[in-house]
Every structure is written in structure tokens, then in C-alpha cells.
Amino acid sequence: MNKDNEIYDLDGVPPLHRAIPLGLQHILSMFAGNVAPLIIIANAMSLPVDEKTFLIQCAMFIAGVTTLIQLYPIGPIGAKLPIVMGTSFGFLPVGISISAQYGLAGVLGASFVGGFFEIIMGAFLKPLRKYFPPVVTGTVLLSIGLSLLPVGIKYFAGGVGAKDFGSPSNLLLGTIVLVTVLFFNQYTKGITSMSSILIGIIVGYIVAIPMGKIDFSAVSQAKWVSFPVPFKYGMTFHLDAIVGMLLMYILTTVETVGDISGITMGGANREATDKELAGGVMADGLGSCLAAIFNVLPNTSFSQNVGLVALTGIMSRFVVAVGAVFLIITGLFPKIGTVVALMPQSVLGGATIVMFSMIAISGINLITKEPLTGKNSMIVAVAMGLGFGLGSVPEAIAYLPESVKMIFGGSGMVVTGTIAIILNIILPENQEKKVEHNTKKSLSGA
């Protein structure tokens, strides 16, 4: 195989001097998103700083382990695709709700049971594949990309809750990163073009230092070496908490199917196979079980990394494995993780805006694999209209029960995916498709 093409092949093993920067940019693009849910739930429970640090450490370690399972499957578990795993934001609302009633032990117990539930769903995904044609997975993927754009802009402006949110300095820093990414991606070739996201983040990080946006005092306070401890908070099992979690696991399965489809479409210009989808979903479930054992919220595929694959076309599992090893290292050596965690949100924003947009483009490519007419056009129109609309205006369901708002009010992707699947089942086939099917049937009979 041509060494220049190794990074574009699933089984390609490029030399380390190329694999390391390409793997690091995968990890840097998801680092903040991986630890943020744990910080939020720790704040909601008023946990002390050392407990927050411990949870972040566990989150990094487990993300690395579960990513390796996706890359190098254990039997049928794993997609064998360049998928990066991390702590899911989707489970945050239900996690906060459960923790208020049953504490973190209740959250972890429900997550553990839900992980096994998702493994079972993955095992039976093949007969369900007919309910996920390109128009459905593409619509979900488009919704994921569009729903993430506001997240990217919030990063760009300095991060939600920042005292200087929207300040000229934050916007300037994000713009510097964005321009750097565009320049190296479009006007250079080879490793600098492929590492444009990493270069943009590094440039932004360096520029942020003289701007006074990084305080390195936290690095000196962090430990050199520390090991994640399983079952530190224990597990308790409560039926209502488990039911709430199971609903979220069903919805995150739809998102994972969309992410896997986005990777194969964006990186290899093909649809995902039954084996890849089933293995990826089962790995999601196993990863979430492991996450519960190591004290953190469920793990799932990270959409920003799907966008990175679509942007660069790099499909080498080895490249992502290098990044996964780095995640495990940051989980064992807190000082390293702290240095990365200090990255200003606006730096991340400048990089993620491009990646999130690429997810939406991958969705459009899937949707348009067939003519966007008749049934297909109605699926996209209604699913996106209600899904993206309600995701943008959650107040529209303010009077519905809390359980409904918790599931459908936080993410347009959830509504979009649910409606797209239902419409694909109940709407009649296009008339021209029926004629084509009958013609083929009569010809085969002749």
C-alpha cells in the first residue's frame, strides 16, 4: 500500500510521526465535550473539587478504553471504524434528575442496566435495519449537525456561563483558530492539511496565553499519577430511574446509527454495513456499562469526531487508536489532562464550527442518495420541521409532563429521529417506486 494512502485505509498503519498529530487532533476536539457533563452533574450535586477532578480522570480513562473497543472489536462488539467515544451529553438531564432523588449511585445503577439493554438492541439491529434507510439516517445526521451548531457558537463566544461570553477577545480568539484551520486545510498539502484542526487549536492555545485566558496554577495542584477507582460511589437500582435511562438509551442508539453512517459516508463514501451498525451499538452499550463501573455517565460516539473524519477523509483506525492511548494517559496522569482541560472554550469553538457543519453535509449526502421527492421529501420536511423547530424552541412543550420534556425538549435530534423512523414505516411508497418494483418482479417472472 502507498504510505501516503495508509491514513485513508481502515487498516492502514501510518508512521508515528504522522499518526500522533492526527490522533491528537481527534482527542483535542472532543476533550471539553467529554468532561463537561461530569463537571455539570458534579456542580449539581455540590461535589468538592477533588471529586470533580477524580470524575474527569475517570471520564478520560474510560473514553480511551471504549474507543479502543470500537476500533478493535471484541467478538461482535465494536464497529471496527474510526469512532471516538466519550461521555454523552444526552444523558445529562435524566442524570441530574435521578441524582437529585437517588444520588450518583442511582445514576450509575440505572446506567449500568441501560448499557446491557443497548447491547441487546445492537444484537437485534440487523432485522431492524430496514427501518433505517439512507433518508432516515441522513435526516438524523443532518439534525445532529444542525443541533450542534449552536453549541459550536457558544464555545466560539467563550462558553456558557463565562463572565466574558461574547466579548471581542473571545470572538477574536475563535476567529484566529477558524482562519488557521481554513488556511492549513485549503492552502497546504500533506500532514499540515490533514492536521489543520490540531494546528488551529495549538495556535489558539498559544495566542490565549498572553491574552490572559489561561491560568496554569491548576496544573501545579494536580497529581502526577493517579488511578481511576471502580465502584467508588457504588450502585443502587430503582425502577423509575432505570425506565428513564432506558428511554434515553433507545434514543442514543438512533444517534449512534447516524454517527456510524456519517463516518462511512463522510470518510468512505458508502453506507454502513449491518455488522458495523450492530457492532457499534453493542460497543456503545458495553462502554456505558464500563463507564458506570468507573463512576461516570454513559459513553457514546462523539459527533464532532464524525465531522473531523468527513473533513479530512482519514479512516485509519490506528490514527484514532493513538488518540485513544493519549486519552488513557490523561486519565492516569492528571497534570497532562489539566493542561489540556485549561484550553479556552473559544479556541475549541473555532475548530468545532467547521466539524459540526461537516456532519450536516454528510447527512445531506445520505438524504440525496435517492431523489428527494414524494415520501422521502415528506419524511425530511416533517422530521426536520418539528425536530429542529422544537429543539430551537423548547418552550413550545412547556406544559407537557416533565418526563416528556426531559426526553424531547433538550435535543432536536431526538424528535427528528423518532418522527423520521415513524414516517418511514407508516407513509406509503412513492408510486414510481411501486411501478419499478412491479416491473422488476414481472421481468424476473418472465
pLDDT value at residue 62? 94
pLDDT value at residue 248? 78
Domain ranges of the chain: 3-146+223-343, 370-446
pLDDT value at residue 423? 93
Please check whether residue 291 is in contact with residue 95, taking contact to mean a CB–CB distance below 8 angstroms.
no
pLDDT in tens, 9-37: 888 898 888 899 888 888 877 776 777 67
pLDDT value at residue 61? 93
Q: Which residues contact 2 (CB under 8 A, 6 or more apart)?
A: none
In the block, cell 475517570 appears at 58
Q: Please report, for the chain, how many H helices and E strands are present, in that order.
A: 19, 2
Please check whether residue 324 is in contact with residue 66, taking contact to mean a CB–CB distance below 8 angstroms.
no
pLDDT value at residue 155? 83
Written as nine digits, the cell of 174 is 475563535
Question: Position 137: which residue type?
Answer: T
Question: Helix (H, G, I), strand (E, B), or coil: what is residue 86?
Answer: strand
pLDDT in tens, 311-367: 888 899 999 999 999 999 888 888 876 777 777 888 888 887 887 787 788 788 888
Written as nine digits, the cell of 363 is 447527512
What is the rounded distance in angstroms from the CA atom of residue 348 to the CA atom of residue 204? 9
Q: Which of 38, 335, 348, 346 is nearest to 216 (CA)?
A: 335
Please check whether residue 138 is in contact with residue 366, taking contact to mean a CB–CB distance below 8 angstroms.
yes
> Which of the residues in the chain have pLDDT under 50?
1, 446
pLDDT value at residue 360? 83
What is the rounded distance in angstroms from the CA atom of residue 405 to the CA atom of residue 152? 23
pLDDT value at residue 24? 86
Please check whether residue 292 is in contact with residue 298, taking contact to mean a CB–CB distance below 8 angstroms.
yes
